[in-house]
């Protein structure tokens, strides 16, 4: 036996998948769908590593990390999530996590991460990288400007904008919401597709019903069909009992299929049948089950191209696009940037219990002239950073948003290293980013520093440290 591992995940199928994958590679694995159950067993078990999902009801993965590091400091922790960001990854590692993995991931990747943990522990005697413990922010809900925000009272979903394109969407929302037709929402990542989908559900007659969200891009390929339709005992290896799927859970409500173009063609055919017949079968069963579910689908891909490439069914597209919605990128509605920036500034001032802050004129000019390849999400993250980094200052300036290593990397540059970074420790991530920036700028440290959003002195210090170690 290579080592003993606890896996904590509230999704049964993911739990079974991870358990089977790691056991087949020589590890002893115990799965828990409740963090509290895992905590209890940690007290009496000799465990080497805890792998925990981040997004769970009740106790989150971050709280699992805090508990393990406080009460079982000799146990390693790896976090997995479908909502990863470099900020969160850095904070997790600083708080003691050994690694941080974003979905989707394959069996080979999770096994490689676990193997790396045991190798690192055996060579160094450490189960985590040293870092600073960060406190979780206090939560509060800011009051939005009612004239420019579509929202619901019970669900914090807001679509902000005075641009004519956005106003057209907001004006059409009631008519779109008050019917049963499927909806296809297209737009680049970070534009607000999921926010608009949420608004549709919570302004519909299904608002009292469940709202189930499935990120199709985060699911291991072998779990997609079972996640959507459920399965019966014995349908496949690891199906140890009957399990409901998303269509069961969403009965009487709405099912959001995020990034639907990532679903295989064979499963697309079954989705088409549900839309046509309003019936489905669980994996391994011949019994027809009724579907009382409204489907909302989203995609950040050009679906026309996906159809031409043969990766998306044309007939499914026509079934979904009774209401084809397109959320414009932020660069096409630049007049909304000041409105959004002020909203996010107020939001994170409230969230963190800080005194009122204003955005300086130089920062507002800076924001208006950015490309925003990450769209509204990128803008929000930048303002969140500015609120924190401005400290006690009543004004947020350009310097407050451009002095963190990872977050000011432009989107195209970030994409080049995205696949390499998850497998690296934080110091190696820093070095990789610096190397990439220097390659792009032909060795110009000042230009590389501008690209990364740091000072050229920081780059010199990092390179000197590496040189001294060698």
pLDDT tens per residue, range 363-405: 999 999 999 988 998 899 889 888 988 888 999 999 888 754 4
The rounded distance, in Å, linking the Cα atoms of 467 and 470 is 5
The pLDDT value given to residue 292: 94
Q: Tell me how far CA of residue 411 lies from CA of 208, 303, 375, 378, 418, in angstroms.
A: 39, 22, 10, 9, 10
Longest dimension (CA), the chain: 68
Show the low-confidence residues of the chain (pLDDT under 70).
Answer: 1, 82-90, 104, 128-157, 403-430, 432, 440, 442, 450-458, 461-462, 464-470
**List of residues 6+ apart from 253 with CB closer than 8 A:** 201, 206, 209, 210, 211, 212, 293, 294
Instruction: Give the domain ranges of the chain.
Output: 4-124, 164-327, 411-469
The rounded distance, in Å, linking the Cα atoms of 77 and 50 is 5
Query: DSSP code of 54?
Result: S
Count Cα neighbours of 373 within 13 Å in the Cβ-side half-sphere. 9
Specify which residues 258 forms β-bridges with.
215
Indicate yes or no: pTM above 0.75. no
The rounded distance, in Å, linking the Cα atoms of 256 and 202 is 13
Structure-block tokens of residue 374 = 């990450």
Structure-block tokens of residue 275 = 């839309």
Specify which residues 256 forms β-bridges with.
213, 296
The pLDDT value given to residue 424: 45
Structure-block tokens of residue 81 = 């999530």
The pLDDT value given to residue 394: 94
The rounded distance, in Å, linking the Cα atoms of 446 and 72 is 44
The rounded distance, in Å, linking the Cα atoms of 10 and 155 is 22
Q: How many CB atoms lie within 10 A of CB 463?
A: 15
Distance from chain centroid for Cα 339: 25
CATH architecture of 164-327: 3-Layer(aba) Sandwich (3.40)
The pLDDT value given to residue 12: 77
Specify which residues 100 forms β-bridges with.
79
Query: Shortest CA distance to 454 belongs to which of 403, 417, 387, 389?
Result: 403
The rounded distance, in Å, linking the Cα atoms of 328 and 88 is 27
The pLDDT value given to residue 155: 32
The pLDDT value given to residue 133: 27
Query: DSSP code of 144?
Result: P
**List of residues 6+ apart from 357 with CB closer than 8 A:** 345, 349, 387, 390, 393, 394, 395, 396
The pLDDT value given to residue 429: 60
Structure-block tokens of residue 127 = 């189960």
**Contact by Cβ (8 Å): 460, 445:** yes
Is-same-fold flag (4-124; 411-469)?
no
The rounded distance, in Å, linking the Cα atoms of 245 and 225 is 9
CATH architecture of 411-469: Orthogonal Bundle (1.10)
Residue reference for tokens 């990863």: 84
Distance separating the N- and C-terminal Cα atoms of the chain = 36
**Contact by Cβ (8 Å): 421, 439:** no
The rounded distance, in Å, linking the Cα atoms of 199 and 152 is 7
CATH code for residues 4-124: 3.40.50.2300
Rg from Cα positions in the chain: 24
Phi-psi category of residue 153: left, alpha or beta, with phi > 0 → left and psi -120 to 50 → alpha: alpha
């Amino acid at each position: 036996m290579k080592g003993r591992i606890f896996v904590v995940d509230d999704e049964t199928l993911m739990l079974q998948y991870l358990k089977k994958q790691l056991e087949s590679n020589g590890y002893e694995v115990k799965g828990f769908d409740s963090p509290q159950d895992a905590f209890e067993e940690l007290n009496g078990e000799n465990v080497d590593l805890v792998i925990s999902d981040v997004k769970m009801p009740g106790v989150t993965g971050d709280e699992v990390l805090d508990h393990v590091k406080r009460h079982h400091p000799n146990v390693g922790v790896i976090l997995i999530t479908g909502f990863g960001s470099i900020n969160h990854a850095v904070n997790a590692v600083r708080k003691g996590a050994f690694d941080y993995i974003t979905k989707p991931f394959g069996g080979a990747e999770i096994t490689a991460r676990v193997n790396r943990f045991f190798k690192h522990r055996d060579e160094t005697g450490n189960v985590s990288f040293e870092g600073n413990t960060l406190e979780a922010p206090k939560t509060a809900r800011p009051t939005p400007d009612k004239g420019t925000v579509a929202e619901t009272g019970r669900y914090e979903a807001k679509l902000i904008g005075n641009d004519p394109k956005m106003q057209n969407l907001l004006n059409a929302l009631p008519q779109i919401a008050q019917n049963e037709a499927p909806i296809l929402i297209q737009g680049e990542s970070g534009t607000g597709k999921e926010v608009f989908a949420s608004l549709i559900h919570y302004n519909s007659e299904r608002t009292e019903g469940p709202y189930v969200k499935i990120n199709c891009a985060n699911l291991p390929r072998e779990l997609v069909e079972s996640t959507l339709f459920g399965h019966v005992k014995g349908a496949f290896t690891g199906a140890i009992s009957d399990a409901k799927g998303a269509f069961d859970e969403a009965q009487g409500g709405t099912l959001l299929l995020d990034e639907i173009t990532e679903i295989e063609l064979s499963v697309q055919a079954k989705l088409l049948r549900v839309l046509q017949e309003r019936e489905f079968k669980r994996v391994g069963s011949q019994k027809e089950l009724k579907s009382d579910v409204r489907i909302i689908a989203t995609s950040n891909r050009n679906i026309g191209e996906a159809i031409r490439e043969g990766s998306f069914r044309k007939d499914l597209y026509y079934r979904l696009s009774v209401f084809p919605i397109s959320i414009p990128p932020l660069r096409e509605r630049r007049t909304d940037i000041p409105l959004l920036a002020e909203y996010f500034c107020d939001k994170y001032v409230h969230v963190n219990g800080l005194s009122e802050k204003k955005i300086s004129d130089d920062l507002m000019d800076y924001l208006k002239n950015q490309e925003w390849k990450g769209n509204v999400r990128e803008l929000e993250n930048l303002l969140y950073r500015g609120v924190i980094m401005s400290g006690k200052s009543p004004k947020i300036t350009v310097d407050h948003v451009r002095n963190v290593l990872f977050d000011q990397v432009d989107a195209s540059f970030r994409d080049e290293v995205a696949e390499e970074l998850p497998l690296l420790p934080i110091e190696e991530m820093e070095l990789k980013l610096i190397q990439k920036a220097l390659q792009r700028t032909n060795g110009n440290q000042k230009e590389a520093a501008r690209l990364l959003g740091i000072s050229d002195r920081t780059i010199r210090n990092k390179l000197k440290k590496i040189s001294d170690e060698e």
